[in-house]
Each structure stands twice: as C-alpha cells, then as structure tokens.
Structure 1
Amino acid sequence: MKTIGVLGGMSAESTAVYYRELNRLVRERLGGLHSAELLIRSVDFAPIAELQAKDDWDATGALLAEAATRLEGGGAEVIVLATNTMHLNADAICDAIGVPFLHIGDATAAALKARGVRRPLLLATRFTMEKDFYKDRLRAAGLDPLIPSDADRERLQAIIYDELCQGMVKPTSQAEGMLMVERGRAAGADGVIFGCTEVGLLLSPGDIDVPVVDTSIVHCEAAVEFALG
C-alpha cells in the first residue's frame, strides 16, 4: 500500500471527511483491521482565505507548494489536495514535487461520465464557479458545466465560508441549496457536482433526482485506487 499525502485544512471540516473516507475505503477493499497509510499536512485556513479575497494566488501557490514538499519529504508517495478551489494552484504544487498529484477535477470528470452526465450543475465557491481553472478541466473531458445565477453564487459563497467551514449546517441553508439545484435543473442540468468539499455537508445526493458527484468522495476513491493498485 502506498502512503497517501493529504494536503488539507481548507477547511478542516472537509479534511476530516477525507480522513474518514480514505480509511473506510481501504477497510472495505482489504477487510479486517486494515486502514489507510496516510500523512496529513493541515494548514491554517485563515491566512489563505485572506489571500483568496485579495486574489493573490501566487502567494497561495507558494504556501501550498511548500506544504506539499513537506508531505513528500515525510514519505508521501502520492498527494491529494483536499479542496477544489485551491486546485487553482495545482501547477505550482506539481512543479514543486516529484511524486504523483491526483487532480480532483479528473476524478470528478471520470465519475460524471461514468454516470452519463453531460451538463452538470457546479455548486462550489465563487472562485471555482467563476474562474476557468476548474470548468476548463471539465470541458476538456467533454463536459458542459453550468453554474448558478450571480445571486445564488454569492449566497453559496457565504454559506460555505460563514457556515460550513466553521462547522455549522443550517436547515435554512440546506433548503436554499436545494432551490439552487432546482433552478439548475430547470436550466438544463442533468447532474450535480458538489464542487466544494464542504457542499456534501450541506446537501444529500439522495435528495436530488439526478446523478450527483461528491468531489471529496470520488477524489478519495481515486487516491485509494492508486495506493492499492
């Protein structure tokens, strides 16, 4: 089994999901008392969020590249970044390390195509919904992602940063999220991407009548497949 390096903390809430899911998947594959070989580098999210707000992605890239090299130095044989938004810095991370980096967008695209989805609704931070780094990755795989209206994007950003990243899940926000899904369906979406690793804390795939890809789950599945393959 290869050692998986998890670069997390953005937020700590979703990084906890990675720890749980990676161990669950290894146990399901190998049985008994087996668990994942993991290294976790969990950064302080507050300074990174401040840099995000300033649109200073060079600075965030330098911070994450340094954190990834520490994971590699500690023995990680493959690295996953436990956040969708910060994949904007994927190139900076890859340039800094010599071990494989598993891109969450690739795992997401593969899962969508396997479910027969072509026009997924992307629910994520404003950065992920509005910048091209993520949508272009999906388009390169033959997908045509949709994003919510500006008002919904603004509200979802607030829900993610002011509530979910701080461990709060409010029923009123869950209801708002479901309305966003309904509006996306009306606009032609044939699937939904939980494109922020916290969105899976807000919404349940079982409540949505089209295929849903929870990016944190499929990312963990890809990591375990690599580690055990």
Structure 2
Amino acid sequence: MSKAASFRNPRPSVEAPAFDAAFREKLGDLLSWRRDVRRFRPEPLPDGLLERLLDSASLAPSVGLSQPWRFVIVTSGERRARIRENFARCNAEALAAEPSERAGRYAHLKLAGLDEAPCHVAVFADRSTGKGHGLGRRTMPEMIEYSAVMAIYTLWLVARAEGVGLGWVSILEPKDVVSALDVPRTWTFIGYLCLGYPAAEDSVPALERAGWETRAPAATFRMER
C-alpha cells in the first residue's frame, strides 16, 4: 500500500444529500427565528431530548477535530442557586455601570431565564485536551474556545428546530461558575445556557423590541481589500 493510500478515509464513499430550494428556505426561516430566549414555560423537556440535542451539538466543527467542548448539565438546586446569586451580583454591577440615560432601560431588561428554564447547561472549553494533537492551535490557541462557541451555536439551531428555546447567560463571573460547578480549573467557562419551551415566539430579537439596539444589515460589516 502506498503512503498516500494509507491516509485515505476507510469509509466507503456515499452520495451527498441534495439540499433543495425548499430546504434552503426552511433553513433561512430557522436562522431568522432563532432567538435568545429569556421567558420559558415550566414544563420539562421530554426524556432523551437534551441528550439528542447535545449529540447534534457535537457535530460542530472544531480545530484539529479536538471537540474541546464540555457540557455540564446542572440539576443540583444548590448549584443553581449559586449561579443565580452570581448573576444577581454581576447584573447589579452592570446596572450601576450604565450611564444614567440608559440605566432605567437596562433595569427593565430580562436578561436571564434562570428561574423559569427547566434545563441548565454550562459549557466549557478544555485547552488541555490531547484530542486533535494540537493541530491548528500553535498560532491561535484560542481556537479551542471558538470551537466551543460553534458547538453552542449548533445546539442553538437544532434546539430551535425542535421548538426548544435557548438563552445564553453571559452576565456571570467565570471563576465563580467554575467554583460553583466544581469543574477543573483548567477549563474555560464559555456560557451558561437555559433551555426549555419558550413562553412566546417572535422573529424580532427581544433587545430590539425593548429599544436597546437594532440589527444592522450585513453590508454594514462588509469590506474589500
């Protein structure tokens, strides 16, 4: 066997699926209707659904095929309470830092669904993983964290396709999250996710509806060199 042949994918070739116009239109709907959900209905997710969503999230691209994401499903009431306390403290500090003309608007924003969401998942990135053998990380070690973010976005989309809402809570002190969840200190905290069935659906982001910010068109961010 030649050296080149030894590196060939041993799996037999299969025909790639065709993504037709109807699929592309539905995909556009999925992207348009993905929301950062803060208000949830109380009923739990069906048995096995979260596991299926996380299996799909693990199909996300990762640097060197390292799959550095670590999903921590938080079921302990005591640990959830510590996360809520962390959020309350950080949110109060953020409110105090807002200029006076925006403080009132900030105070009325609902920025987490920690009390309502039936499912809590914390996501971390593990830079110490040997998986992937360091490929693609020599000049950009932060690709490990970016890979974990890709997993979250993949989870966000597949959850929305199942009618499940996801809210990404970032107003947290990372060191306190690591301590509250008793995970390795070498892991980097990426985000705390609330999942459940949304109380309402909307194609417009909540922050835009609240007058906090508006979505800009893609041309705003495009340039040529």
Tell me, yes or no, whether TM beats 0.5. Answer: no
With normalisation by structure 2, the TM-score equals: 0.24
Structure number with the higher helix fraction is 1
Q: Which has the higher contact order (CA 8 A, sep 6+)?
A: 2
TM-score for both structures, normalised by structure 1: 0.24
